[in-house]
Structure 1
Amino acid sequence: MIDIHNHLLINTDDGPTSKTEARDLLRQAEGQGITDVMITPHHHAGFHYTPKGKVFSKIETLHGIIEAEGLSVNVHHGQEIRINEHIMEELRDGLSTTLNDTDYILIELPFDALPPYYEAVLDELIDNGYTPIIAHPERCRPIAKDPAILHTLVQKGVITQVTAGSITGDFGPELQKTGLKMIEDNLIHVVASDAHHAENRPFRMPAALDVVRSEFGEVQAEAMQENAWKIFNDEKITSMVAAKEGH
């Protein structure tokens, strides 16, 4: 199982604050059958500024923990980039990075209001050969209110990622309802953990996939896992599963 969105770097953003907390997260990932984790610290989000070089230096500590603990999980670099007008520039300058040097780039939209330039930035990324992945669109209120916004982006070729905790109901019934409706409407490609802490914000990947399996069938759950593999292996995502079984 592949996780494409989480916050495991120590003392970097709002993730773990110690080696012990990071170790617990890595153990949890392994215990849930996750083999590869794309580390995605916040970049350009509030006070969180985590350029590519910092990601590479901080990830070495995680490699050390994995080796010392004899864990079978692997970690890879990435960022969760809050949408801004300088993403292409920072990619060229080596300040921003894609997920493990693939063509996929994880983009976060603001929760309360979409900036007027958001669609132009996504278009620019696509035009330059990148595939934007919108992180947790179920948490973006303008999109939750008007799913046609997300439909337009998906039609352009944008990929979407729902958070495991939203699907399991950990973040409340409204986010769960919104996330499940987005899956039913064929607007979600992949589920990811957005893990921050082993107890407060855990991985929850198998539990979320169980909900997807229960609500939409095995084919949908397998498609989401396959899409995560495709992202990890820099392969094009070409299909989605549209409706509940029996509909």
Structure 2
Amino acid sequence: MMIDVHNHVLIGVDDGPGTREDAVALLKQAVAGGITDIIATPHHQTTNYTNPAGTVEDKLEELHQIIEEEGIDINVHPGQEIRIYGEMINHLKTGENLTLNRSRYVLVEFPFTDLPHYTEQLLFDIQMNGYIPLIAHPERCKPIIRQPEKLHNLIEKGAISQVTATCVTGALGENLQKTSLKMIENNLAHIVASDAHNAETRPFALKEAYDVITEELGEEYTERLKKNAEKLLKDEEMILKLPKPMESHYTEGKKRKKKKKKFLGLF
């Protein structure tokens, strides 16, 4: 049993598949990689995309029909990747926002370039309302990879996080691979998910990611990550270990300071 809790497989709702053919290729790729269950998590409350629960459920029904017609052996469940915003909890209560497979777990996306000032308070309030925030791909959030203590603080206070399979495999660069593996090793990431968008450039690479984790960190980490995805799907408590501090692997934008030339050797 291999479960993917974050991907974009619904047709025509975000930057995932635009056609039936694209979606079928993506789903068949998931099956070929050993995935049995996926939680469809279209973007919600971003600048470009809004996909409330009703839209997700309609599009999920469409996908279920295609799966049946094509004879694809996979189960697809409802969810959203919700960009963090102030009314998030209210909309969870009204049903506009979805948890992952109607569990207590909520997939929360941060902006890539900044963390809203209310982030810590909102994640705390989410927990106080009976939910568990699952932070999507923290390894791609610049404030966190510059200062991993920000993630450590959020995890220490009860949030959990999920790194992306293609970051773990190194497909998105050595820097992201190092950061992802360190987050897993230091108990700052608790699930690996594909964040798949299309079969060619943003694929399901979950099996490949687990292979890398086994090779680099050991089988124990792989089994724990797989088990956590299963527990999320079933709305059970995850296997969590105390988070440990980690160093930053952020290098982009760092430049050597040029020494000023001395004028006539005097200054």
TM-score tier (shorter): over 0.9
One-letter amino acid of the structure 2 residue matched with residue 68 of structure 1: E
Contact 1:137 1:162 in 2 (8 A): yes
Code of the residue aligned with 2:178 in structure 1: it is: K
> 2:44, 2:63 → 1: CA distance?
19
Amino acid at match of 2:206: M
Please state how far the C-alpha of 1:21 moved relative to its aligned partner. 0.3
Match of 1:198 in 2: 199
Q: Which residue matches 1:138?
A: 139
Separation in 1, partners of 2:121, 2:240: 25
Measure the CA separation in 2 of the matches of 1:232 and 1:240. 20
Residues 213 and 242 of structure 1: CA distance in aligned 2, closer, same or farther (over 3 Å): farther
Q: Deviations over 1:58-89 (max 9, x none)?
A: 11111011101111100000000000000111
2:170 is matched with 169
Distance 2:243 2:133 in 1: 21
Cα distance between partner residues in 2 of 1:166 and 1:216: 15
CA distance in 1, matches of 2:239, 2:4: 19
Secondary structure of 1:5 counterpart: strand
**Corresponding letter in the other structure for 1:114:** L
Name the Cα RMSD after superposition.
1.2
SS of residue in 1 equivalent to 2:171: coil
**Residue 59 of structure 1: aligned partner:** 60
Structure 2 match to 1:237? 238
Q: AA paired with 1:18?
A: T
Which segment is superposed worse, 179-188 or 135-144? 179-188
Q: C-alpha displacement at 1:144, in angstroms?
A: 0.5
Aligned to 1:129: 130
Unaligned runs of 5+ residues in structure 1 are none
Following TM superposition, by how much is the alpha carbon of 1:187 offset from its aligned partner in structure 2, in angstroms?
Answer: 0.7
Paired residues, what number? Answer: 243
Q: Which residue of 2 aligns with 1:209?
A: 210
For residues 30 and 240 of structure 1, the distance between their equivalents in structure 2, rounded to whole angstroms, comes to 31
> Where does the alignment leave 5 or more consecutive residues of structure 2 unmatched?
245-267
Separation in 2 of the partners of 1:115 and 1:241? 25
2:217 is the alignment partner of 1:225: no
Aligned to 1:31: 32
User: Which is worse superposed, 34-43 or 174-183?
Assistant: 174-183
Report deviation, 1:242: 7.6
CA shift, 1:49, in A, is 0.4
Aligned-residue offset at 1:159:
1.1
Tell me the residue number matched to 2:91.
90
**Aligned residue for 2:262?**
none
1:101 alignment partner AA? R
2:100 corresponds in structure 1 to 99
1:44 aligns with 45
Q: Which amino acid aligns with 1:195?
A: A
Q: Does structure 2 conserve the Cα–Cα contact (< 8 Å) formed by 1:136 and 1:160?
A: yes
Return the TM-score normalized by structure 1.
Answer: 0.96
Paired-residue identity, %: 51
Compute the TM-score of the two structures, normalised by the length of structure 2: 0.89
Render the CA deviation track for 1:127-181: whole Å, top value 9, x for unaligned: 0110000000000011101111111111111111000000011111111111112
